[in-house]
Structure 1
Amino acid sequence: MVKKIAALVFIFICTSIAWMILGATLEVRSSEVDERLGYEVDSLYGPAQHQVAPLFGYSYKVDTSSYDEKLKRKVKTFRTVSGNLPIERSDIDVDLSLDYRRKGLLWYSTYAVGFDGTYKTKNSTDNKVDLNILFRFPSSNNEYDDFHFYIDGKEVEKLDWGKEGVGKTVSLGPNEELTFRAVYLSRGKTEWAYKFGDEDIVEVVDFSMTVNTDFKAVDFPEGSISPTSMEDTDSGKKLTWDYEKKISGKMIAVEMPTKLNPGPLAAKITFFAPVSLFFFFFIIFIITTLRDIRIHPMNFFFLASAFFAFHLLFAYLVDHLDVNLSFIISAAVSVLLVVSYLRLVVGARFALVEAGISQIVYLVLFSYSFFFKGYTGLIITITSIITLAILMQMTGRIDWDEKFKALPKK
């Protein structure tokens, strides 16, 4: 019996090493694909977009002329005063439309964004100023369609283009107000965000933003500001951020929902495979010991190989088929291998009932639990406790000394 257990441990360790190699291979493949294709996705659909509030930079000249005693005349000099006018009101509408794109073993959450922002500022100085309105795009590595630049309701055609963005300089009298509006369509991936300004902490006054999505599974990145209200719509969600006055160093951000990525999913399932095999071996070993059924370690070797076949087939099917279909095919092949083999070794009933059910629970169910993010640990824990309870009831009256022939029966 000791030699048999040692052989089973050896088979288990060797199979586990094979799983670790397969899992590492899948992780490397996924990482290489992400590095190589991630840049392609950025080029095609754009990176994550972080829109920044516009800048209203003002400047005016102050006469600093003075009388020069040596020259015996007045010398004209000027000093330029500059700064940024605060945004007194912001009305922003954003539409986000999700569009999943698959490259290799990975899904990317790309989106189309429609931005429409209206801002109001006021010349709070006592001087007529030259006001430079600077609108900065979220990323230079992107495309922006149907861009429009409005000042006081009139579209401006001739704009000043620079590295930082696009702008226009106008004159603004003392206490005079100005309304600026920017509109564009673009694309991005992963998340869309809005920053109140460049400073670490910004004061926001009379701010209103509405984000309409065509997806329900809305999430917000860590460190971002959650909406003040959230409503369901026919196609998705309506998110609103309304502030009369707010001081914050955070940004508004919406994270796109993600699909199960076949590569990382297959790697996680593969790394967890030794746990599934341990439970299966343990159950089969206990049942065969209780019923005095002889199964040679070589039989366990082929059973371990059938388990490994599931992960190997799944790892390469997901390249070509839907992840759920790949899982079903791989699981069916593995179960068929085990059942058809044990039918010859032990018998049809044992193969279908004890072995078949055990494999479905500990291989198929355990592996499929990774499809439910956040519930994997709970599913496995509950199943393990139920298994423990069943085994305790089955073996409570067993004389293990007799079964293992370790000690003479008194």
Structure 2
Amino acid sequence: MKLTHLASIAVIFVCTTIAWWLLGGVITQRTAQVGYQTGDDVSGRWGPQLMQKHPGARYTSSSGSTVVLQPSKSDVKVQLVYQPVKMGLLWHRTYSVKFEGAYSFTNSTAITQTLNVGFDLPAGKTLLDKIRFTLGEGASMRRSMAAPQEGVISDSVQLAPGESISISVSYECRGMNSWGYVFADASRIRDFALSMSTNFTDVNFPISSPTDRKATEKGMELVWKYEDAISAPGISLEMPRELNAGPVAAQISFYAPLSLLLFFVVIIIAATSRGVALHPVNYFFLAAGFFAFPLLFSYMLDVVPVHFSFVIAAGASLLLVCGYLRAAAGDFLFRVAIVAQAAYMVLFSYSFFFKGLTGLTLTVGGIVTLGVLMALTARVDWSQKLGAVSPRLA
């Protein structure tokens, strides 16, 4: 192969790479625009990321200072139902939550105290439904009708020395991305238990892992228990990561030049070893066939499911590239091309659907390619094929 032909192929590769990167930029911009336009809309309808604060009670000491009292016992139950919403090329990780908290406060002083019990509701614009706030239990139980002020629902109660009172809070609401429970004053948390049920098994804990967990038919049962903890960490659970087609399509487009480079190397070496003459124009059409894959894939995503779009786009590109090469160069290069394109374009691109597999796929593919090419060309006389001066083995 002449150096002018290699230079022409290099120019074709560079131009195709620029086109791919431009396409990747367009896809990224489209995805960001859709995310910006729909993010506030979904958040307005479903609510933001929710964070529930641990309640506290306040009383005024004999010295006139305000003392914050932590619950002596806490039993919290949370039910999370994951309900993702798709808008455009993005999935939004939305969910609904049912919260039930049973707390006990004890007057540990030697005099009667008036406790002002406050419960912070989740902040942000979220619809809170079925709010219930009760004090006491049994015959002495009363439901507080106080309206929340600045996101806090509160009420007052008098407790004799050593007397305890039970506080019960429940509500339903919806949020996005994650749910959390935090301790405003985590200096010491006693007799705390939080049990959580989910309808999914793909769980991630950014702050602290549960003390107990088990799988159920519908999802997971998770438990956090603190008997007497100092600086107790908060609790947080992220919703499952959905496959967002827009970012995947952009990544495929940005990394597509690697697939084409390996494909060109295989075809050039295979064609040279068999004495098949391919003109740079042939490589232009091969590059165009490769480019058709991410182009068709990215614009089908708006109307066709992501995996089906991938199959259609990959099939169309395989038909274009391998069909053209069979017509132009015969069956040998056709067989080489169909294996090479399936490995470098289809499998490498599909690895972007799975986090952490892309680099491994490319590494394994490169090593396998090197081994196959070395085996196929070990007995080729390159001095004759390339016209170079080199000693021949006896």
- TM-score class normalised by the smaller sequence: over 0.9
2:162 paired residue number: 175
2:25 paired residue number: 24
SS in 2 for 1:148: strand
Aligned counterpart for 2:118 among listed residues 93, 118, 134: 134
Seen in structure 2, the aligned counterparts of structure 1 residues 268 and 202 have a Cα distance that, compared at 3 Å, is farther
SS in 1 for 2:99: strand
Q: Is the 8 A contact 2:203 2:237 kept in 1?
A: yes
Matched, 1:188 2:179: no
What CA distance in whole angstroms lies between the structure 2 residues aligned with 1:152 and 1:296?
88
Matched, 1:297 2:284: no
What CA distance in whole angstroms lies between the structure 2 residues aligned with 1:351 and 1:335?
13
What CA distance in whole angstroms lies between the structure 1 residues aligned with 2:93 and 2:390?
66
1:279 paired residue number: 262
Matched, 1:367 2:349: yes
Seen in structure 2, the aligned counterparts of structure 1 residues 390 and 155 have a Cα distance that, compared at 3 Å, is farther
What CA distance in whole angstroms lies between the structure 1 residues aligned with 2:28 and 2:187?
41
What CA distance in whole angstroms lies between the structure 1 residues aligned with 2:296 and 2:369?
28
1:406 paired residue number: 388
Seen in structure 2, the aligned counterparts of structure 1 residues 174 and 160 have a Cα distance that, compared at 3 Å, is farther
Aligned counterpart for 2:106 among listed residues 118, 122, 125: 122
1:215 paired residue number: 200
Q: Is the 8 A contact 1:340 1:351 kept in 2?
A: no
Q: What are structure 2's unaligned runs of at least 5 residues?
A: none
Q: What are structure 1's unaligned runs of at least 5 residues?
A: 63-78
2:189 paired residue number: 204
Report 1:40-79 matches (<5 A). Answer: 40-59=41-60, 62=62
SS in 1 for 2:374: helix
TM-score (norm 1): 0.91
Deviation per CA, 1:140-174: give whole Å up to 9, x if none: 31011111101113342421421141111222222
Amino acid at match of 1:231: K
What CA distance in whole angstroms lies between the structure 2 residues aligned with 1:134 and 1:408?
88
Amino acid at match of 1:33: V
TM-score (norm 2): 0.95
1:73 paired residue number: none
CA-CA distance at 1:261 after TM superposition: 0.2
Matched, 1:383 2:365: yes
SS in 1 for 2:100: strand
Amino acid at match of 1:175: G
CA-CA distance at 1:117 after TM superposition: 0.7
Higher strand share: 1
Q: What root-mean-square deviation, in Å, do the aligned CA atoms of Structure 1 and Structure 2 show?
A: 1.6
Amino acid at match of 1:193: G
What CA distance in whole angstroms lies between the structure 2 residues aligned with 1:40 and 1:380?
39
Seen in structure 2, the aligned counterparts of structure 1 residues 398 and 161 have a Cα distance that, compared at 3 Å, is same
Q: Is the 8 A contact 2:123 2:151 kept in 1?
A: no
**How many pairs were matched up?**
388
Q: Which one has a bigger Cα radius of gyration?
A: 1
SS in 1 for 2:223: strand
What CA distance in whole angstroms lies between the structure 2 residues aligned with 1:127 and 1:136?
27
SS in 1 for 2:230: strand
Deviation per CA, 1:56-77: give whole Å up to 9, x if none: 11125x4xxxxxxxxxxxxxxx
CA-CA distance at 1:409 after TM superposition: 6.3
Deviation per CA, 1:214-267: give whole Å up to 9, x if none: 11111112xx01001110111111111112111236311111112110000101
Q: Is the 8 A contact 1:160 1:168 kept in 2?
A: no
